[in-house]
Amino acid sequence: MSIGTKLDNSKLSQVVEITRPTLCAYLEFLEKTYIIQRLPVFSTVDIVVALRNKLYFHGNRIAGILEQPSKGVLFENAIFK
């Protein structure tokens, strides 16, 4: 999982070894406490097939603690905010 990447709940739940409903509950909690924000992927195509949300953090400091993002990724996260 990285900033601005498409979020795959099934894969992430397997990586952290929790059930998918539990993961969804955690993500919802993090979103309600303004730590993360899930955004739909922008598409100009009329038919959207299996597009996932993108994940952004509400602050670059939090993102920097969880991973070592590149300057470009931090910039994208800053533009989101």
| Domain limits, the chain | 9-80
pLDDT value at residue 81 = 65
Cα–Cα dist 61/40, whole Å: 23
Section 63-76 average pLDDT: 72
Query: Six-digit token pair at 24?
Result: 């969804």
Q: What is the pTM of this model?
A: 0.67
Q: Is the pLDDT of residue 5 over 60?
A: yes
Cα–Cα dist 38/56, whole Å: 6
pLDDT-derived band at 43 (thresholds 50, 70, 90) equals low
* Tens-place pLDDT, residues 6-40: 888 888 899 889 999 999 999 999 999 988 888 77
